[in-house]
Amino acid sequence: MMIHDGFNQWRKLETLCDEDRKKLLNMTDEEMKDSFYQELAFGTAGLRGKIGPGTNRMNEQVIARATRGLAGVIEKRGQKAMDCGVAIAWDVRERSERFMEVAASMLASCGIQVHIFSGIRPTPMLSFAVRELRTQAGIVVTASHNPKEYNGYKVYWKEGSQIRDDIADEISREIAKFDYSVWPEKSFDEYKDEGFIHIIDEALEEKYYALTLAKAVEEDIKKDISIVYTPLNGTGNLPVRRVFKARGFDNIHLVEEQTEPDSSFKSVGYPNPEDFKAFEKALALGKEVDADILIATDPDCDRVALVAKDASGEFIPFTGNQTGALLLEYILSRREVKGDLPANGAVVKSIVTGDIGRRICDHFGVAMFDALTGFKNICALANEWDDTGAYEFLFGYEESIGYVYGDHVRDKDAVVTSMMVAEMAAYYLSIDKRLPEVLGEIFKAYGYQGEKLLSVVKEGQEGQALIQGIMADLRENPISSVESLKVEKVVDYAEGVEGIGTSNVLEYRLDDGSCFFVRPSGTEPKIKLYIYTNDKDEEKAKEKIEWIESAVLRRFDLK
Protein backbone atom coordinates (compact mmCIF):
# COMPACT_ATOMS: atom_id res chain seq x y z
CA MET A 1 0.00 0.00 0.00
CA MET A 2 2.80 2.41 0.91
CA ILE A 3 4.50 1.77 -2.42
CA HIS A 4 1.38 2.69 -4.39
CA ASP A 5 0.78 5.73 -2.18
CA GLY A 6 4.29 6.98 -2.91
CA PHE A 7 3.84 6.33 -6.60
CA ASN A 8 0.56 8.28 -6.70
CA GLN A 9 2.07 11.20 -4.80
CA TRP A 10 4.96 11.41 -7.25
CA ARG A 11 2.62 11.41 -10.25
CA LYS A 12 1.25 14.71 -8.92
CA LEU A 13 4.64 16.42 -8.60
CA GLU A 14 4.90 19.35 -11.00
CA THR A 15 8.69 19.48 -10.75
CA LEU A 16 9.33 16.11 -12.43
CA CYS A 17 11.46 16.33 -15.55
CA ASP A 18 9.95 14.93 -18.74
CA GLU A 19 12.27 11.91 -18.67
CA ASP A 20 11.25 10.90 -15.16
CA ARG A 21 7.57 11.49 -15.78
CA LYS A 22 7.74 9.18 -18.79
CA LYS A 23 9.58 6.52 -16.77
CA LEU A 24 7.07 6.86 -13.94
CA LEU A 25 4.07 6.35 -16.17
CA ASN A 26 5.61 3.30 -17.86
CA MET A 27 6.83 1.49 -14.73
CA THR A 28 6.24 -2.20 -14.29
CA ASP A 29 5.06 -3.41 -10.89
CA GLU A 30 8.58 -4.64 -10.12
CA GLU A 31 10.13 -1.29 -11.09
CA MET A 32 7.55 0.52 -8.98
CA LYS A 33 8.34 -1.68 -6.00
CA ASP A 34 12.09 -1.11 -6.24
CA SER A 35 11.67 2.65 -6.82
CA PHE A 36 9.37 3.27 -3.85
CA TYR A 37 9.85 0.52 -1.24
CA GLN A 38 12.18 2.78 0.76
CA GLU A 39 13.72 6.24 0.83
CA LEU A 40 17.38 6.56 -0.05
CA ALA A 41 18.98 6.72 3.37
CA PHE A 42 21.02 9.84 4.05
CA GLY A 43 24.16 8.64 5.79
CA THR A 44 27.77 9.60 6.29
CA ALA A 45 28.36 8.90 2.60
CA GLY A 46 25.39 11.15 1.74
CA LEU A 47 23.13 9.65 -0.91
CA ARG A 48 23.83 7.21 -3.71
CA GLY A 49 21.48 5.29 -5.97
CA LYS A 50 20.25 4.59 -9.46
CA ILE A 51 19.01 7.57 -11.46
CA GLY A 52 15.26 7.77 -12.02
CA PRO A 53 11.97 8.76 -10.39
CA GLY A 54 11.05 7.56 -6.92
CA THR A 55 12.06 7.79 -3.28
CA ASN A 56 14.69 5.06 -3.76
CA ARG A 57 16.29 6.77 -6.74
CA MET A 58 18.55 9.74 -7.46
CA ASN A 59 16.56 12.58 -8.97
CA GLU A 60 15.98 16.33 -8.69
CA GLN A 61 13.32 15.93 -6.01
CA VAL A 62 15.55 13.81 -3.75
CA ILE A 63 18.38 16.32 -4.25
CA ALA A 64 16.12 19.29 -3.42
CA ARG A 65 14.78 17.64 -0.26
CA ALA A 66 18.24 16.57 0.94
CA THR A 67 19.63 20.05 0.31
CA ARG A 68 16.73 21.64 2.18
CA GLY A 69 17.69 19.43 5.12
CA LEU A 70 21.32 20.53 4.85
CA ALA A 71 20.20 24.15 4.66
CA GLY A 72 18.21 23.70 7.87
CA VAL A 73 21.30 22.47 9.69
CA ILE A 74 23.34 25.44 8.42
CA GLU A 75 20.56 27.90 9.34
CA LYS A 76 20.68 26.67 12.93
CA ARG A 77 24.33 27.69 13.10
CA GLY A 78 23.48 31.31 12.42
CA GLN A 79 24.03 34.02 9.85
CA LYS A 80 27.80 33.61 9.86
CA ALA A 81 27.48 29.99 8.73
CA MET A 82 25.00 31.03 6.04
CA ASP A 83 27.39 33.71 4.81
CA CYS A 84 30.31 31.27 4.79
CA GLY A 85 28.06 29.17 2.61
CA VAL A 86 28.57 25.95 0.71
CA ALA A 87 31.00 24.94 -2.07
CA ILE A 88 29.71 22.54 -4.73
CA ALA A 89 31.47 20.37 -7.31
CA TRP A 90 30.10 17.85 -9.75
CA ASP A 91 31.43 15.15 -12.04
CA VAL A 92 30.67 13.75 -15.49
CA ARG A 93 27.69 11.56 -14.65
CA GLU A 94 24.22 11.82 -16.07
CA ARG A 95 22.36 14.80 -14.55
CA SER A 96 25.29 15.80 -12.32
CA GLU A 97 25.25 19.41 -13.50
CA ARG A 98 21.46 19.57 -13.18
CA PHE A 99 21.63 18.15 -9.66
CA MET A 100 24.24 20.80 -8.81
CA GLU A 101 21.92 23.53 -10.07
CA VAL A 102 19.02 22.24 -7.97
CA ALA A 103 21.21 22.01 -4.86
CA ALA A 104 22.69 25.47 -5.41
CA SER A 105 19.26 26.98 -6.01
CA MET A 106 17.79 25.38 -2.91
CA LEU A 107 20.60 26.72 -0.73
CA ALA A 108 20.25 30.16 -2.30
CA SER A 109 16.49 30.12 -1.70
CA CYS A 110 17.32 29.75 2.01
CA GLY A 111 19.69 32.74 1.88
CA ILE A 112 22.86 30.67 1.90
CA GLN A 113 25.84 31.70 -0.22
CA VAL A 114 26.98 29.13 -2.80
CA HIS A 115 30.36 28.70 -4.49
CA ILE A 116 30.57 26.54 -7.62
CA PHE A 117 33.33 25.67 -10.06
CA SER A 118 33.14 26.71 -13.70
CA GLY A 119 32.86 23.07 -14.80
CA ILE A 120 33.52 19.49 -13.74
CA ARG A 121 36.28 19.11 -11.13
CA PRO A 122 37.81 16.23 -9.18
CA THR A 123 36.38 15.54 -5.73
CA PRO A 124 39.63 16.41 -3.87
CA MET A 125 39.48 19.92 -5.28
CA LEU A 126 36.11 20.36 -3.55
CA SER A 127 37.67 19.30 -0.25
CA PHE A 128 40.41 21.87 -0.80
CA ALA A 129 37.87 24.57 -1.72
CA VAL A 130 35.94 24.03 1.52
CA ARG A 131 39.14 24.51 3.51
CA GLU A 132 40.43 27.41 1.46
CA LEU A 133 37.14 29.34 1.25
CA ARG A 134 36.28 28.40 4.84
CA THR A 135 32.75 27.47 3.86
CA GLN A 136 30.45 25.80 6.35
CA ALA A 137 29.93 22.79 4.10
CA GLY A 138 30.56 21.30 0.69
CA ILE A 139 28.71 19.07 -1.76
CA VAL A 140 30.01 16.79 -4.49
CA VAL A 141 27.54 15.37 -6.98
CA THR A 142 29.11 12.03 -7.92
CA ALA A 143 28.63 8.28 -7.70
CA SER A 144 32.39 7.77 -7.67
CA HIS A 145 33.15 4.39 -9.29
CA ASN A 146 29.59 3.00 -9.43
CA PRO A 147 28.06 1.83 -12.72
CA LYS A 148 26.71 4.41 -15.16
CA GLU A 149 23.12 4.03 -13.90
CA TYR A 150 24.09 5.62 -10.57
CA ASN A 151 24.63 9.10 -9.22
CA GLY A 152 25.24 10.41 -5.73
CA TYR A 153 25.47 13.36 -3.36
CA LYS A 154 28.28 13.62 -0.81
CA VAL A 155 28.33 16.27 1.92
CA TYR A 156 31.47 17.75 3.48
CA TRP A 157 31.82 19.82 6.62
CA LYS A 158 33.92 22.89 7.33
CA GLU A 159 37.15 20.93 7.92
CA GLY A 160 37.02 19.74 4.30
CA SER A 161 36.28 16.11 5.13
CA GLN A 162 33.05 14.20 4.61
CA ILE A 163 30.45 14.50 7.34
CA ARG A 164 30.43 11.98 10.17
CA ASP A 165 27.49 10.38 11.96
CA ASP A 166 26.57 13.33 14.19
CA ILE A 167 26.14 15.77 11.30
CA ALA A 168 24.56 13.14 9.04
CA ASP A 169 21.97 12.34 11.72
CA GLU A 170 21.22 16.03 12.19
CA ILE A 171 20.73 16.49 8.45
CA SER A 172 18.51 13.39 8.32
CA ARG A 173 16.25 14.83 11.01
CA GLU A 174 15.92 18.05 9.04
CA ILE A 175 15.23 16.20 5.79
CA ALA A 176 12.36 14.34 7.47
CA LYS A 177 10.56 17.67 7.99
CA PHE A 178 9.99 18.07 4.25
CA ASP A 179 8.24 16.10 1.55
CA TYR A 180 9.30 15.72 -2.07
CA SER A 181 7.44 18.79 -3.23
CA VAL A 182 9.95 21.14 -1.62
CA TRP A 183 11.58 23.19 -4.37
CA PRO A 184 13.59 26.41 -4.89
CA GLU A 185 11.49 29.53 -5.35
CA LYS A 186 13.53 30.81 -8.31
CA SER A 187 15.74 29.46 -11.07
CA PHE A 188 19.47 28.81 -10.89
CA ASP A 189 20.20 31.73 -13.25
CA GLU A 190 18.07 34.11 -11.18
CA TYR A 191 19.92 33.27 -7.98
CA LYS A 192 23.21 33.62 -9.83
CA ASP A 193 22.20 37.08 -11.09
CA GLU A 194 21.16 38.05 -7.56
CA GLY A 195 24.64 37.24 -6.24
CA PHE A 196 23.85 34.14 -4.20
CA ILE A 197 25.78 31.79 -6.50
CA HIS A 198 29.45 32.56 -7.18
CA ILE A 199 32.00 31.04 -9.55
CA ILE A 200 35.13 29.97 -7.70
CA ASP A 201 38.17 32.01 -8.71
CA GLU A 202 40.89 30.25 -10.70
CA ALA A 203 43.40 31.41 -8.09
CA LEU A 204 42.03 28.79 -5.71
CA GLU A 205 42.66 26.05 -8.24
CA GLU A 206 46.17 27.37 -8.86
CA LYS A 207 46.88 27.14 -5.14
CA TYR A 208 45.61 23.55 -5.07
CA TYR A 209 48.05 22.64 -7.83
CA ALA A 210 50.92 24.49 -6.15
CA LEU A 211 50.38 22.65 -2.86
CA THR A 212 50.03 19.34 -4.69
CA LEU A 213 53.31 19.86 -6.54
CA ALA A 214 54.99 20.88 -3.28
CA LYS A 215 54.48 17.32 -1.97
CA ALA A 216 57.18 16.02 -4.33
CA VAL A 217 59.93 14.17 -2.49
CA GLU A 218 62.53 13.47 -5.20
CA GLU A 219 63.51 15.36 -8.34
CA ASP A 220 66.60 13.32 -9.24
CA ILE A 221 64.51 10.69 -10.99
CA LYS A 222 64.01 9.13 -14.41
CA LYS A 223 61.68 11.75 -15.90
CA ASP A 224 61.35 9.93 -19.23
CA ILE A 225 59.48 7.04 -17.60
CA SER A 226 56.79 5.77 -20.00
CA ILE A 227 53.33 6.18 -18.44
CA VAL A 228 49.94 5.16 -19.78
CA TYR A 229 47.16 7.15 -18.15
CA THR A 230 43.39 6.78 -18.35
CA PRO A 231 40.85 8.95 -16.51
CA LEU A 232 38.13 6.43 -17.48
CA ASN A 233 36.12 9.27 -19.06
CA GLY A 234 35.98 11.09 -15.72
CA THR A 235 37.24 14.34 -14.19
CA GLY A 236 40.90 13.35 -13.84
CA ASN A 237 42.07 14.09 -17.38
CA LEU A 238 43.16 17.73 -17.08
CA PRO A 239 44.24 17.80 -13.40
CA VAL A 240 46.38 14.65 -13.52
CA ARG A 241 47.97 15.56 -16.84
CA ARG A 242 48.72 19.02 -15.50
CA VAL A 243 50.71 17.75 -12.51
CA PHE A 244 52.52 15.24 -14.71
CA LYS A 245 53.58 18.02 -17.07
CA ALA A 246 54.58 20.32 -14.21
CA ARG A 247 56.81 17.58 -12.78
CA GLY A 248 58.45 17.00 -16.16
CA PHE A 249 56.78 13.68 -16.99
CA ASP A 250 56.36 14.19 -20.73
CA ASN A 251 56.32 10.57 -21.89
CA ILE A 252 52.58 10.21 -21.20
CA HIS A 253 50.34 8.06 -23.39
CA LEU A 254 46.60 8.66 -23.07
CA VAL A 255 43.89 6.08 -23.70
CA GLU A 256 42.16 8.30 -26.23
CA GLU A 257 38.73 6.62 -26.04
CA GLN A 258 38.70 7.22 -22.26
CA THR A 259 40.10 10.75 -22.17
CA GLU A 260 37.03 12.94 -22.71
CA PRO A 261 34.13 13.08 -20.22
CA ASP A 262 31.41 10.53 -20.99
CA SER A 263 28.49 9.80 -18.68
CA SER A 264 27.76 6.54 -20.52
CA PHE A 265 31.27 5.15 -19.88
CA LYS A 266 30.80 3.17 -23.09
CA SER A 267 34.53 2.69 -23.54
CA VAL A 268 34.97 0.99 -20.18
CA GLY A 269 31.56 -0.23 -18.97
CA TYR A 270 32.11 -0.39 -15.22
CA PRO A 271 34.37 2.61 -14.44
CA ASN A 272 36.03 1.15 -11.36
CA PRO A 273 39.84 1.02 -11.66
CA GLU A 274 39.93 -1.41 -8.73
CA ASP A 275 38.60 -3.96 -11.22
CA PHE A 276 41.45 -4.98 -13.54
CA LYS A 277 38.95 -5.22 -16.41
CA ALA A 278 38.91 -1.41 -16.46
CA PHE A 279 42.54 -1.55 -17.64
CA GLU A 280 41.74 -3.45 -20.84
CA LYS A 281 42.45 -0.56 -23.20
CA ALA A 282 45.25 0.85 -21.04
CA LEU A 283 46.93 -2.55 -21.03
CA ALA A 284 46.73 -2.84 -24.82
CA LEU A 285 48.23 0.62 -25.20
CA GLY A 286 50.88 -0.16 -22.58
CA LYS A 287 52.05 -3.15 -24.57
CA GLU A 288 52.04 -1.11 -27.78
CA VAL A 289 54.18 1.72 -26.40
CA ASP A 290 56.26 -0.43 -24.01
CA ALA A 291 55.06 1.50 -20.95
CA ASP A 292 56.65 1.18 -17.53
CA ILE A 293 53.45 1.82 -15.55
CA LEU A 294 49.71 2.18 -16.17
CA ILE A 295 47.61 4.55 -14.04
CA ALA A 296 43.81 4.79 -13.94
CA THR A 297 41.67 7.19 -11.92
CA ASP A 298 37.97 6.78 -11.22
CA PRO A 299 35.29 9.18 -12.56
CA ASP A 300 35.53 11.74 -9.72
CA CYS A 301 39.31 11.31 -9.48
CA ASP A 302 39.63 10.46 -5.82
CA ARG A 303 40.78 6.84 -6.29
CA VAL A 304 43.72 5.56 -8.33
CA ALA A 305 44.89 2.11 -9.41
CA LEU A 306 48.33 1.03 -10.57
CA VAL A 307 49.72 -1.60 -12.94
CA ALA A 308 53.49 -1.91 -13.43
CA LYS A 309 55.77 -3.88 -15.73
CA ASP A 310 58.16 -6.36 -14.12
CA ALA A 311 61.64 -7.31 -15.26
CA SER A 312 60.28 -9.95 -17.65
CA GLY A 313 57.98 -7.46 -19.37
CA GLU A 314 54.75 -8.72 -17.79
CA PHE A 315 52.25 -6.14 -16.51
CA ILE A 316 51.38 -6.74 -12.85
CA PRO A 317 48.27 -5.18 -11.24
CA PHE A 318 48.62 -4.00 -7.65
CA THR A 319 45.92 -4.14 -5.00
CA GLY A 320 45.11 -1.08 -2.92
CA ASN A 321 47.01 -2.59 -0.01
CA GLN A 322 50.08 -3.17 -2.16
CA THR A 323 50.08 0.31 -3.66
CA GLY A 324 49.64 1.72 -0.16
CA ALA A 325 52.61 -0.30 1.10
CA LEU A 326 54.76 0.84 -1.83
CA LEU A 327 53.87 4.50 -1.29
CA LEU A 328 54.45 4.27 2.45
CA GLU A 329 57.85 2.62 2.05
CA TYR A 330 58.87 5.13 -0.61
CA ILE A 331 57.69 8.30 1.14
CA LEU A 332 58.95 7.37 4.61
CA SER A 333 62.30 6.01 3.43
CA ARG A 334 63.11 8.96 1.18
CA ARG A 335 62.01 11.53 3.73
CA GLU A 336 64.09 9.78 6.37
CA VAL A 337 67.14 10.02 4.10
CA LYS A 338 66.44 13.72 3.52
CA GLY A 339 66.01 14.29 7.25
CA ASP A 340 62.51 15.78 7.07
CA LEU A 341 60.49 12.91 8.51
CA PRO A 342 58.72 14.52 11.49
CA ALA A 343 59.22 12.98 14.92
CA ASN A 344 55.47 13.08 15.53
CA GLY A 345 54.44 11.91 12.06
CA ALA A 346 51.38 9.67 11.80
CA VAL A 347 49.63 7.51 9.23
CA VAL A 348 45.98 6.44 9.31
CA LYS A 349 44.46 3.40 7.61
CA SER A 350 41.00 1.84 7.67
CA ILE A 351 40.35 -1.18 9.90
CA VAL A 352 39.81 -3.41 6.84
CA THR A 353 43.16 -2.47 5.32
CA GLY A 354 46.03 -4.94 5.75
CA ASP A 355 48.61 -4.68 8.54
CA ILE A 356 51.76 -4.58 6.42
CA GLY A 357 51.59 -0.78 6.50
CA ARG A 358 51.79 -0.92 10.29
CA ARG A 359 55.01 -2.91 10.09
CA ILE A 360 56.48 -0.36 7.67
CA CYS A 361 55.52 2.50 9.99
CA ASP A 362 57.02 0.70 12.99
CA HIS A 363 60.29 0.38 11.10
CA PHE A 364 60.48 4.14 10.50
CA GLY A 365 59.20 5.12 13.94
CA VAL A 366 55.97 6.57 12.57
CA ALA A 367 52.72 6.15 14.46
CA MET A 368 49.95 4.15 12.75
CA PHE A 369 46.28 4.55 13.66
CA ASP A 370 43.21 2.58 12.61
CA ALA A 371 39.92 4.23 11.68
CA LEU A 372 36.55 3.01 10.56
CA THR A 373 36.10 2.50 6.82
CA GLY A 374 35.87 5.69 4.79
CA PHE A 375 37.99 8.79 4.52
CA LYS A 376 35.57 10.72 6.67
CA ASN A 377 36.97 8.64 9.52
CA ILE A 378 40.58 8.58 8.32
CA CYS A 379 40.65 12.37 8.01
CA ALA A 380 38.76 12.89 11.26
CA LEU A 381 42.02 12.12 13.07
CA ALA A 382 43.86 14.68 10.95
CA ASN A 383 41.18 17.21 11.89
CA GLU A 384 41.64 16.35 15.56
CA TRP A 385 45.42 16.79 15.32
CA ASP A 386 44.92 20.24 13.79
CA ASP A 387 43.52 21.25 17.17
CA THR A 388 45.73 19.23 19.52
CA GLY A 389 49.03 19.22 17.65
CA ALA A 390 49.61 15.69 18.93
CA TYR A 391 50.65 14.35 15.53
CA GLU A 392 51.48 15.57 12.06
CA PHE A 393 49.29 13.82 9.51
CA LEU A 394 51.49 12.31 6.81
CA PHE A 395 49.45 9.82 4.85
CA GLY A 396 46.03 8.15 4.89
CA TYR A 397 44.88 5.15 2.90
CA GLU A 398 42.45 2.28 2.58
CA GLU A 399 42.50 -0.95 0.63
CA SER A 400 39.89 0.28 -1.85
CA ILE A 401 42.59 2.28 -3.76
CA GLY A 402 42.05 5.53 -1.83
CA TYR A 403 45.06 7.57 -0.67
CA VAL A 404 45.91 11.07 0.48
CA TYR A 405 49.38 12.49 1.03
CA GLY A 406 49.68 15.77 2.90
CA ASP A 407 47.16 17.95 4.69
CA HIS A 408 45.82 20.45 2.14
CA VAL A 409 43.04 17.99 1.20
CA ARG A 410 40.95 16.06 3.70
CA ASP A 411 39.75 13.29 1.42
CA LYS A 412 41.34 10.73 -0.85
CA ASP A 413 43.06 12.46 -3.73
CA ALA A 414 43.96 10.73 -6.99
CA VAL A 415 45.73 13.83 -8.33
CA VAL A 416 48.50 13.94 -5.72
CA THR A 417 48.56 10.13 -5.59
CA SER A 418 49.03 9.82 -9.36
CA MET A 419 51.92 12.26 -9.10
CA MET A 420 53.51 10.31 -6.25
CA VAL A 421 53.04 6.96 -8.02
CA ALA A 422 54.79 8.34 -11.10
CA GLU A 423 57.59 9.82 -8.97
CA MET A 424 58.00 6.58 -7.02
CA ALA A 425 58.19 4.43 -10.16
CA ALA A 426 60.63 6.89 -11.75
CA TYR A 427 62.85 6.92 -8.66
CA TYR A 428 63.11 3.15 -8.53
CA LEU A 429 63.80 2.96 -12.27
CA SER A 430 66.64 5.41 -11.65
CA ILE A 431 68.25 2.77 -9.43
CA ASP A 432 67.34 -0.06 -11.83
CA LYS A 433 64.37 -1.42 -9.91
CA ARG A 434 60.80 -1.96 -11.01
CA LEU A 435 57.82 -1.76 -8.69
CA PRO A 436 57.01 -5.52 -8.65
CA GLU A 437 60.61 -6.11 -7.54
CA VAL A 438 60.27 -3.44 -4.85
CA LEU A 439 57.07 -5.03 -3.57
CA GLY A 440 58.90 -8.35 -3.34
CA GLU A 441 61.59 -6.67 -1.23
CA ILE A 442 58.90 -5.22 1.04
CA PHE A 443 57.41 -8.68 1.57
CA LYS A 444 60.86 -10.07 2.29
CA ALA A 445 61.56 -7.34 4.84
CA TYR A 446 58.18 -7.17 6.56
CA GLY A 447 56.56 -10.55 5.86
CA TYR A 448 54.31 -11.75 3.06
CA GLN A 449 50.70 -10.57 3.17
CA GLY A 450 48.15 -12.68 1.31
CA GLU A 451 44.87 -10.94 0.61
CA LYS A 452 41.56 -11.19 -1.16
CA LEU A 453 38.44 -9.05 -1.33
CA LEU A 454 35.16 -10.71 -2.20
CA SER A 455 32.05 -8.62 -2.87
CA VAL A 456 28.63 -10.24 -3.17
CA VAL A 457 25.98 -8.01 -4.77
CA LYS A 458 22.40 -8.37 -3.53
CA GLU A 459 20.07 -5.85 -5.16
CA GLY A 460 16.68 -4.67 -3.94
CA GLN A 461 14.61 -5.24 -0.84
CA GLU A 462 15.25 -8.99 -0.75
CA GLY A 463 18.99 -8.42 -1.10
CA GLN A 464 19.07 -6.02 1.82
CA ALA A 465 17.17 -8.51 3.96
CA LEU A 466 19.64 -11.27 3.05
CA ILE A 467 22.63 -9.09 3.95
CA GLN A 468 21.08 -8.15 7.29
CA GLY A 469 20.35 -11.83 7.92
CA ILE A 470 23.96 -12.80 7.25
CA MET A 471 25.26 -10.27 9.76
CA ALA A 472 22.69 -11.30 12.38
CA ASP A 473 23.51 -14.99 11.98
CA LEU A 474 27.24 -14.32 12.27
CA ARG A 475 26.65 -12.53 15.53
CA GLU A 476 24.42 -15.25 16.94
CA ASN A 477 26.59 -18.16 15.72
CA PRO A 478 30.16 -16.90 15.26
CA ILE A 479 32.67 -18.92 13.26
CA SER A 480 35.05 -20.71 15.66
CA SER A 481 37.58 -22.25 13.25
CA VAL A 482 38.66 -22.41 9.62
CA GLU A 483 40.28 -25.72 8.68
CA SER A 484 43.24 -26.06 11.10
CA LEU A 485 43.11 -22.38 12.10
CA LYS A 486 41.36 -21.40 15.32
CA VAL A 487 39.54 -18.13 15.84
CA GLU A 488 41.26 -16.40 18.74
CA LYS A 489 39.17 -13.25 18.82
CA VAL A 490 36.02 -11.79 17.32
CA VAL A 491 35.62 -8.00 17.34
CA ASP A 492 32.11 -6.67 16.76
CA TYR A 493 32.46 -3.02 15.84
CA ALA A 494 28.69 -2.61 16.18
CA GLU A 495 29.29 -2.69 19.92
CA GLY A 496 31.83 0.12 19.63
CA VAL A 497 35.59 -0.06 19.87
CA GLU A 498 37.42 2.46 22.02
CA GLY A 499 39.36 4.98 20.00
CA ILE A 500 37.79 3.81 16.74
CA GLY A 501 34.00 3.92 16.99
CA THR A 502 30.92 1.96 16.00
CA SER A 503 30.17 0.30 12.66
CA ASN A 504 28.42 -2.76 11.25
CA VAL A 505 31.66 -4.75 10.85
CA LEU A 506 32.80 -8.11 12.22
CA GLU A 507 36.51 -8.90 12.54
CA TYR A 508 37.87 -12.43 13.02
CA ARG A 509 41.44 -12.88 14.27
CA LEU A 510 42.95 -16.35 13.74
CA ASP A 511 45.70 -18.01 15.75
CA ASP A 512 48.33 -17.73 13.00
CA GLY A 513 47.95 -13.96 12.63
CA SER A 514 45.54 -14.18 9.70
CA CYS A 515 42.24 -12.31 9.86
CA PHE A 516 39.08 -11.61 7.94
CA PHE A 517 36.34 -9.00 8.06
CA VAL A 518 32.68 -9.09 7.04
CA ARG A 519 31.09 -5.73 6.25
CA PRO A 520 27.99 -4.59 4.36
CA SER A 521 28.86 -1.76 1.97
CA GLY A 522 27.66 1.67 3.03
CA THR A 523 27.20 2.89 -0.55
CA GLU A 524 26.36 -0.17 -2.66
CA PRO A 525 23.99 -3.17 -2.40
CA LYS A 526 26.69 -5.65 -1.46
CA ILE A 527 28.34 -7.44 1.42
CA LYS A 528 32.13 -7.59 1.50
CA LEU A 529 34.58 -10.19 2.78
CA TYR A 530 38.16 -9.01 3.38
CA ILE A 531 40.75 -11.75 3.90
CA TYR A 532 44.36 -11.31 5.06
CA THR A 533 46.76 -14.20 5.67
CA ASN A 534 50.31 -14.40 6.96
CA ASP A 535 52.90 -17.06 6.24
CA LYS A 536 56.57 -17.25 5.31
CA ASP A 537 55.49 -19.45 2.40
CA GLU A 538 53.56 -17.43 -0.20
CA GLU A 539 51.74 -20.51 -1.51
CA LYS A 540 50.64 -21.47 2.00
CA ALA A 541 49.32 -17.96 2.54
CA LYS A 542 47.28 -18.27 -0.66
CA GLU A 543 45.96 -21.66 0.44
CA LYS A 544 44.73 -20.13 3.69
CA ILE A 545 42.82 -17.53 1.67
CA GLU A 546 41.00 -20.38 -0.10
CA TRP A 547 40.16 -21.97 3.27
CA ILE A 548 38.63 -18.78 4.63
CA GLU A 549 36.78 -17.90 1.44
CA SER A 550 35.30 -21.40 1.14
CA ALA A 551 34.25 -21.49 4.79
CA VAL A 552 32.41 -18.17 4.66
CA LEU A 553 30.74 -18.79 1.30
CA ARG A 554 29.67 -22.26 2.38
CA ARG A 555 28.37 -20.97 5.68
CA PHE A 556 26.06 -18.49 4.02
CA ASP A 557 25.34 -20.39 0.82
CA LEU A 558 26.81 -17.63 -1.36
CA LYS A 559 28.64 -19.77 -3.92
Residue 104's beta-bridge partner residues? none
Q: Which helix (H) or strand (E) holds 540?
A: helix 538-555
Cα angle: 342, vertex 326, 279; to 5 degrees: 140
CA–CA distance, 204 with 456 (Å, rounded to integer):
41
Residue 1 neighbours by CB under 8 Å, 6+ apart:
none
| Sign of the alpha-carbon dihedral angle for 455, 461, 466, 472 | positive
**Residue ranges in 389-537 assigned as alpha helix (H):** 414-430, 435-446, 460-476
Planar angle of CA 62, 66, 70, nearest 5 degrees:
165
DSSP letters along 438-474, please?
HHHHHHHHH--EEEEEEEEE--HHHHHHHHHHHHHHH
Yes or no: say if 497 and 440 are a contact pair by the CB < 8 Å rule.
no
Q: Which of these is catalytic: 35, 109, 127, 144? A: 144
Q: Are 426 and 293 in contact (CB under 8 A)?
A: no
Tallying the residues shown for the chain, one arrives at 559
DSSP track, 276-320: GGGGHHHHHHHHHHT-SEEEEE-TTSSBEEEEEE-TTS-EEE--H
522 DSSP 8-state letter = S
Phi, psi torsion values for 144, nearest 5 degrees = 55, -115
CA–CA dist 321, 398 (Å, integer): 7
DSSP at 162:
B
Cα separation of 415 and 209, whole Å?
9
How far apart are the C-alpha atoms of 466 and 458, rounded to whole Å? Answer: 8
418 is catalytic: no
Q: Can you tell me the distance from the alpha carbon of 243 to that of 418, in angstroms, rounded to the nearest whole number?
A: 9
Residues annotated as catalytic are: 144
